[in-house]
């Protein structure tokens, strides 16, 4: 079965089509997707589904440009997190919890995302999606009232896809680039607890909850454009450094995002007095600038202050460090080996205390020694998870 797509990667790339397996595991319930919509939807679905398979908990992903902006499993939402996301306490289903946490891992990058959940979309999740700037949802099914509600989003243009949760693709996959066809065995490596049984540092033990978070981070890497490094906390991705040409740039990007996630919950950030006319994305932009106070030019600072009712006191460097160091069991996973200790030095500033990497670098001893200096637990998995 072949269906027409809205266009390819860009509007001028027409015609564009998708060939579906027979029988098809995928149904388009609303809207006309583009090629990028489909690529993101299939990547997001695989990630959400594998989080559920790996942990037994509902999984969710927020995808943008073929990599996850966020991913998470369902866990309760605390008041600090809710306040940092401009959300009120409400009764959310496990599927909704997972998606709120996935999207909240990086709310800037999740703007206009593709959402995926491992569960049936219920009214609770539909209410969350209705108020967010999101382009698409893919899930194994929909409650009737939830589906009807989502069909009204974006004036009827919101993309809704349904996929068979039991569908398994063929063992071999192929792609065509510039007239050349490439084939490979699909990446069916299983990310589970037994992957993290080779600690190489002096400290070797981590809690079951931390292990679960490390699994979430590593599953997310499997569906992220390489090179990639992921920082995760409490069962959710809070910093994804994707598609960089050097490992340390991945680490810096992931840790910078994680720092921002931590600092969004700082009392000074939560106390910002926004102008009442600001919408949530605008409020998020103000917080983002506020956290970079010392780096802003005067025009940038004036623009930030224009969104506030009063001038705030900045968070000092010492206050930032103290706050970040209050978060325990912060995990970092790398999709390949860590080649230099500079990655560990940067991770330490974000209070990372648990690291997973493939190992087998020429400088393994140096990297391990750095982890020992900071009191980290580091695992060698022996598994590379590149994606191109």
What's the rounded Cα separation, in Å, for the pair 97 and 93? 6
Mean pLDDT value across residues 12-18: 96
pLDDT tens readout for residues 330-370? 999 999 999 999 999 999 999 999 999 999 999 999 999 99
Q: Locate the domains of the chain by residue range.
A: 2-168, 189-263+326-380, 273-314
pLDDT tens readout for residues 246-282? 999 999 999 999 999 999 999 999 999 999 999 999 9
For the cut 90, the answer to whether the pLDDT of residue 88 exceeds it is no
Which residues contact residue 267 at a Cβ distance below 8 angstroms, ignoring those fewer than 6 apart?
A: none
pLDDT tens readout for residues 190-202? 999 999 999 999 9
Out of 30, 37, 52, 64, pick the active-site residue: 64
In terms of Cβ atoms closer than 10 Å to its own Cβ (0-12, 13-18, 19+), residue 192 is middle
Out of 65, 130, 151, 154, pick the active-site residue: 65
| Consecutive H or E run containing 96 | helix 94-104
pLDDT tens readout for residues 102-157? 999 999 999 999 999 999 999 999 999 999 999 999 999 999 999 999 999 999 99
The DSSP code for 242 is E
Q: What is the pLDDT of residue 151?
A: 98
As a whole number, the mean pLDDT across the chain is 97
Q: Check if the beta carbon of residue 227 is closer than 8 Å to that of residue 244.
A: yes
User: Is the preceding peptide bond at 227 cis, omega within 30 degrees of 0?
Assistant: yes
Q: How confident is the model at residue 90 (pLDDT cuts 50, 70, 90)?
A: confident
Q: CA geometry: angle at 265 spanning 263 and 270, to 5°?
A: 110
Q: Check if the beta carbon of residue 150 is closer than 8 Å to that of residue 162.
A: no
For the cut 90, the answer to whether the pLDDT of residue 210 exceeds it is yes
Q: What is the pLDDT of residue 312?
A: 96
List residues bridging with 183 in a β-sheet.
174
Query: Is 266 a known active-site residue?
Result: no
Out of 37, 227, 260, 266, pick the active-site residue: 227
As a CATH number, domain 273-314 is 1.10.287
Q: How confident is the model at residue 224 (pLDDT cuts 50, 70, 90)?
A: very high
Helices and strands, number each (H, E), in the chain = 13, 15
Tell me how crowded residue 249 is: count the other CB atoms within 10 A of its CB: 15
What's the rounded Cα separation, in Å, for the pair 52 and 60? 9
Which residues contact residue 363 at a Cβ distance below 8 angstroms, ignoring those fewer than 6 apart?
A: 339, 340, 341
Q: What is the pLDDT of residue 247?
A: 97
Out of 12, 155, 185, 388, pick the active-site residue: 388
Query: Is 388 a known active-site residue?
Result: yes
Q: What is the pLDDT of residue 258?
A: 98
Mean pLDDT value across residues 156-177: 96
Q: What does the DSSP assignment read for 111-142?
A: TTEEEEESS-B-HHHHHHHHHS-EEEEEES-B
Q: Which CATH number fits domain 189-263+326-380: 1.10.540.10, 3.20.20.60, 3.90.1150.10, 3.40.140.20?
A: 3.40.140.20
Residue burial 158-172, b: 16+ Cβ < 10 Å; e: rest = bbbbbbeeeeeeeee
Q: What is the pLDDT of residue 135?
A: 97
Q: What is the pLDDT of residue 108?
A: 92
Structure tokens at 149: 């509600």
Mean pLDDT value across residues 40-45: 98
As a CATH number, domain 2-168 is 3.40.140.20
């Amino acid at each position: 079965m072949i269906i027409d797509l809205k266009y390819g990667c860009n509007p001028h790339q027409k015609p564009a089509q998708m060939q579906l397996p027979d029988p098809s595991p995928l149904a388009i319930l609303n809207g006309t997707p583009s090629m990028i919509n489909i690529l993101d939807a299939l990547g997001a679905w695989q990630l959400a589904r594998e989080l559920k398979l790996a942990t037994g908990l509902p999984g969710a992903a927020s995808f943008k440009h073929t990599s996850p902006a966020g991913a998470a499993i369902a866990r309760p939402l605390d008041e600090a997190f809710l306040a940092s996301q401009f959300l009120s306490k409400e009764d959310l289903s496990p599927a909704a919890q997972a998606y709120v946490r996935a999207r909240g891992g990086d709310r800037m990058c999740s703007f206009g995302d593709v959402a995926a959940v491992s569960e049936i979309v219920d009214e609770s999740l539909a209410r969350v999606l209705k108020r967010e700037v999101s382009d698409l949802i893919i899930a194994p099914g929909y409650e009737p009232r939830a589906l009807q509600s989502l069909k009204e989003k974006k004036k009827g243009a919101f993309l809704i896809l349904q996929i068979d949760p039991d569908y398994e693709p063929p063992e071999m996959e192929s792609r065509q680039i510039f007239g050349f066809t490439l084939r490979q065995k699909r990446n069916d490596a299983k990310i589970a607890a037994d992957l993290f049984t080779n600690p190489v540092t002096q400290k070797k033990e981590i809690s079951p909850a931390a292990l679960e978070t490390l699994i979430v981070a590593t599953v997310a890497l499997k569906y992220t454009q390489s090179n990639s490094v992921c920082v995760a906390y409490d069962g959710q991705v809070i910093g994804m450094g994707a598609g960089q040409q050097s490992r340390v740039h991945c680490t810096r990007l992931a840790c910078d995002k994680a720092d921002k996630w931590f600092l969004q919950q700082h009392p000074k950030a939560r106390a910002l007095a926004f102008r009442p006319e600001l919408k949530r994305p605008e409020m998020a932009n103000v917080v983002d600038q506020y956290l970079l106070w010392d780096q802003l030019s005067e025009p940038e600072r004036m623009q930030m202050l224009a969104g506030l009712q009063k001038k705030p006191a900045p968070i000092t460097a010492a206050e930032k460090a103290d706050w970040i160091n209050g978060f325990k069991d912060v995990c970092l996973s790398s999709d390949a080996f860590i080649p230099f200790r500079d990655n560990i030095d940067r991770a330490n500033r974000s209070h990372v205390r648990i690291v997973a990497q493939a190992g087998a670098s020429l400088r393994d001893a140096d990297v391990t020694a750095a982890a020992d200096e900071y009191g980290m637990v580091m695992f060698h998995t022996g598994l590379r998870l590149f994606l191109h």
